[in-house]
A and B are shown apart, each in its own frame.
Chain A
Amino acid sequence: MKHIRNFSIIAHIDHGKSTLADRLIQYTHLVEDRQFRDQILDNMDIERERGITIKSQTVDLPYVDENGREYELNLIDTPGHVDFSYEVSRALASCEGVLLLIDAAQGVEAQTLGNLYAALEHNLVIIPVINKIDLPVADIERVKNEIDDELGLDPETAILCSAKEGIGIEEILKAIVERIPPPTGDAEKPLTALTFDAQYDSFRGTIVSCRVFDGTVKQGDTVRLMSQGTTYRVEEVGIFRLPREPQKELTAGMVGYIIAGIKTVSDIRIGDTITLDTYPALEQLPGFKDVKPVVFSSIYPIASDDYQSLFDALEKYKLNDASLVYQKDSSAALGQGFRCGYLGLLHLEIVQERLEREFDQSIIMTAPSVQYRFYLDDGTRLEVDNPLHYPDPGSIRSSEEPYIKASILIPERYVGVIMKLCMERRGVNSHMSYPTPGRVEVTFDLPLAEVIFDFYDKLKSLTQGYGSFDYEITDYRESSLAKLDILVNGEKVDALSILVHRDNARERAVRVCDKLRDEIPRQQFKIAIQGAIGGKIIARSTISAYRKDVTSKCYGGDISRKRKLLEKQKKGKKRMRMVGNVEIPQSAFLAALKTDDE
């Protein structure tokens, strides 16, 4: 066990986590240089585009120190977004230490703090690493001050590094071996292995990533998932080399994988404890939670006959993403579809993009919603995440919505605009602290519903990119809610309905009506777009009729071009939905989601 180190890299988005991971892999010669594909750990297109890790990967780095001693350094990668904070916490629970990566130009940001707190919670050894020191705008002294003042860490322990240039890599590896303690545990005790990740493999089924705390597991054992009581026979255990490398057994302290004929990732709960069926542990490892979705939205196929194809795509998608939940949904305007629950807005966007890109689905997504609580006259409590299920307003005694504690880190000059933004978003209980001169941490209690629309984009644009944001869901609070309906030529488009705070209703209605006016193409009759609460119209916009759609010339040389245009328009029509006699393009549904004026 003395030669094992289990660690993670934690960082704010874009501070260079993946690049550093790649360098570590390269340095330890886990793969040949010429086979090295940049950013091995981020292997989804979307991840690479956005520069964030969504699905974590773990890798076991063989390392020989200057005295010839061999080590196994398990790098447990973590998803880099607040939506996945539970997954991050399980990964951290599997480590003894972390590299806390800080961008030499950006300095400490909200997520850096969030990550630090998470690491401290698990009593991990923290090695600060200042990355990107090669940048001309790098300000190492300032970052060191921030490490001291804001993080309360000894700045002298920070390692200077440029993952891009390969500077400081050896030092980091040395520090991992020297500063992070080896794991402890007893191989003779009953097995307790923490599952921190699960990936689907079409040949092998689910590949469970786990950290063994006590005991031993090997091929042929029958293991039990303690939160569910299900049992499986182990087919293979091994460690995460590139590619995976089977082992005779996994014992206390090791990080590795178990393949046990588990069909889908949904059969596994992240944070669950694996034990032996015949020699079980008495207690689960602490910290297990059943993660629940917090953001909800419906997905409909653009062409209603593509429902089955969308169903198949979701089923396939779900094989590798246990955190997505969905069930059938149906709308008068859009027909059959699915109500989906997500861990957060980023998760929602990932699902949407992957369905469109990897599964070739053309979808309409409805406005994201949080889960509201309604207390009815008859004493029942109703949880509603779908505007279609909004109860009869006459029967509602009171209603509640979820709140978050938002923590926003900004240069001092932006305090004014951010305060204003948060107040507009119904923020309360503001609190300010000055971790270092010139920088402010603002905390607010905010309704989650206010954050799942463009809050983050807005924050970024108001602070020219300097603002960073982290949050956790805290509680439910009483709130006055209403259902805003959108009518197109007098017909209610149920898929555009949203639940809103009563005070915001009119403003939201006006924005949605204006957005739709800009997105719905003119048709040969006038189109009225209205926002209504109950029967009361609170906003209105009109699309004037166009009066002519004919081109002058149609001779021999024009015909084929004209027909091709018609064929294209016919295809485009499939990306439209008819509501009454009005054609609404997919883009209009998307635009209605954005509240921004841009």
Chain B
Amino acid sequence: MSRSRKAHSWRPLKRTMNRTDLPGLYIHIPFCKSKCPYCDFYSVTETDRIEEWLQALLIESRYYRHDFGTFDSLYLGGGTPSLLHPRQIEKLITGLRDVFTFDDPAEVTMELNPDDVTRENLAFYRSLGVNRVSLGVQSFVEEEVRFLGRRHTSRQGVSAIEAIRETGFDEFSIDLMYGLPGQSIRTWGSILKEALSFSPAHLSCYQLTVEGDTLFSRMAKEEKLKLPEDSRQADLFVYTSEYLTGSGFIHYEVSNFAKGPETLSRHNVKYWQHTPYLGLGPSAHSLAGKKRWWNVRDVDQYLESIHGDHIPVGGFEDLSSSQMNLEKLLFGFRTMWGIDVRQIIPPPARETIRGLCDSGFVTCHDQNIIPTLKGYLFADKLPLMVS
């Protein structure tokens, strides 16, 4: 393989409906300067291991070189991808391009932490073919940013967005969190308004959730952290959706909004369509057909496997058709594409579907049932009512 440096040959993205059948490639960069108290993605703070991890990841990639065909998305997630030196990002992307075939254009997304962002870095990422960035702003309110344990300031969040716009990234996404203890609708509304003032192509708005093994979950157990009641959370959720759809956004997934059909996250949509994806790096998950597997959730074990010349897979499952069905329901009620009832076997009872329609959870379109906003609110419950 030639070590092509012609990264700029990646063409800019132009597309209409950003939902494709080609597989996606996810790279998990499991390093952070510090752990955020709400986040349960796998990461470690030993940044001196990045170089070793990078070598290993490129070795791992070769195990799959013949298995996935052409990718049309690459997603650098984490952890904190922007913690890597730009040269390491370069080495990563060019290394992957040596091993895999990518469609042209492909969607290449990189997650960024505001305090890592410089115009220089951004320009360099662009030269490597990164055409979409996702910025972890979380909030524009200083005390909220601090409550969330972020290492940036609200000011840095704003500067980072400005830098991104100035570097010519039309497609950028902003990550925000809401439903923080004591947060009023008014405060949250002002945050959304500020976000929109930067004309992002995409917004991810996550309701603060207490997840598995995090500082927040320990605090919640000790009753040192109390999230808003569900009725308040519901109000915030509805507000978010109404505010953003009122501003022209498409609420295409529970927590995701796109400015237009062409700017929804092509890569993330694959997760909700059973489109194949390959995940590389510790804890990354992959799907091919009915097989799903995941890597060990531990950098040491990951490296050990690679050094011992075996794939660092920690587990796998062969999805039965009923499991596939259940996942289709799970995804269907979370996304605007809804559920094609012909694909559910056995199909849900007609009266069940009518009941969901009558209660306003879904709208029925021929063989498709599409969740309403109320449906999104109960997306974790509805699969049980149908199956």
Contact = CB atoms under 8 A, between A and B. Distances in A.
Nearest to A550: B379
B176 to A, nearest CB: 11
Contact of B377 (A549, A554, A563): A549
B294 A560 contact: yes
Nearest to B212: A561
A567 B319 CA distance: 13
Chain A, interface SS category:
loop
Contacts of B378: 524, 548-550
Given A550-B377, A559-B285, 4 more contacts: A552-B254, A553-B209, A556-B279, A563-B326
Given A556-B285, A560-B317, A548 B377 contact: yes
B294 A548 contact: no
Interface residues of A, number: 22
Chain B, interface SS category:
mixed
A552 B41 CA distance: 14
Residue in A549, A567, A569, A570 whose Cβ sees the most chain B Cβ within 10 Å: A549
B251 interface: no
Contacts of B208: 552
Interface string B22-48: 000010000000000000010000000
B132 to A, nearest CB: 16
Contact of B41 (A547, A548, A557, A562): A557
A547 B234 CA distance: 6
A423 interface: no
Interface in B354-387: 376-381, 383-384, 387
A560 B324 CA distance: 11
A563 B330 contact: yes
Contact of A566 (B207, B255, B326, B376): B326
B271 interface: yes
B301 to A, nearest CB: 16
Interface of A: 524, 546-557, 559-560, 562-563, 566-567, 569-570, 573
A555 B206 CA distance: 13
A543 to B, nearest CB: 13
Interface in B236-254: 237, 253-254
Interface string B319-360: 000010011001100100000000000000000000000000
Interface in B204-224: 206-209
B284 A556 contact: yes
Contacts of B10: none
Contact of A557 (B234, B284, B330, B380): B284
B159 interface: no
A567 B324 CA distance: 12
Contact of B327 (A549, A550, A563): A563
A3 B233 CA distance: 83
Nearest to B178: A552
A563 B323 contact: yes
Nearest to B384: A569
Contacts of A569: 384
Contacts of B317: 560
Nearest to B283: A557
B377 A566 contact: no
A562 B26 CA distance: 20
Given A547-B377, A551-B380, A553-B206, A567 B326 contact: yes
B206 A548 contact: no
B387 A559 contact: no
Interface in B283-314: 283-287, 292, 294
Contacts of B206: 552-553
A548 B286 CA distance: 30
Contact of A553 (B234, B255, B279): B255
Contacts of B254: 550, 552, 554
Contacts of B294: 557, 560
A557 B383 CA distance: 19
Contact of A547 (B231, B272, B277, B279): B231
7 contacts: A549-B381, A550-B377, A550-B378, A556-B287, A559-B330, A562-B380, A563-B327
B268 A552 contact: no
Contact of A570 (B237, B255, B387): B387
Contact of B277 (A552, A553, A556): A556
Contacts of A557: 41, 279, 283-285, 294
Residue in A548, A553, A555 whose Cβ sees the most chain B Cβ within 10 Å: A548
Contacts of B67: none
The 8 lowest CB-CB distance pairs between A and B, nearest first, are A547-B234, A556-B285, A548-B234, A550-B379, A552-B206, A549-B381, A548-B230, A552-B207
